[in-house]
Amino acid sequence: MPVVGVTTYLEPARWGAWDVTAAVLPHWYLDVLRGVGLDIVLLPPADEPAVTLLDRLDGLVLVGGADVDAARYGATPDPTADVPRTSRDESELALYRAARERGMPVLGVCRGMQVMAVAHGGTLIQDLPSAGYGTTHREQPGQFVDHGARFDDGVVAALYGRSEVVVNSSHHQAVESAGSLTVTGRAVDGTIETCEDPDADFCVGVQWHPEHPDRREADRPLLAAFAAAAERYRSAR
Element (H, E) at 174: strand 174-177
Positive/negative CA dihedral, 173, 186, 163, 34 = negative
Number of other CB atoms surrounding residue 207 within 10 Å: 30
The reply to whether 203 belongs to the active site is no
The reply to whether 27 belongs to the active site is no
Q: Which is catalytic among the residues 110, 147, 171, 203?
A: 110
DSSP E strands in 18-170: the ranges are: 18-24, 39-43, 59-62, 106-109, 123-125, 145-151, 165-169
Q: Which is catalytic among the residues 120, 147, 171, 209?
A: 209
Cβ(6)–Cβ(29) below 8 Å: yes
Positive/negative CA dihedral, 167, 127, 64, 95 = positive
Determine the angle formed by the axes of helices 111-119 and 86-102, rounding to 10 degrees: 70
φ/ψ of residue 86, rounded to 5: -60, -50
Closest among 163, 86, 188, 77 to 127, alpha carbons compared = 77
Q: Which is catalytic among the residues 172, 193, 211, 212?
A: 211
Q: Which amino acid is at 176?
A: E
The reply to whether 209 belongs to the active site is yes
The residues annotated with a catalytic role in the active site are 110, 209, 211
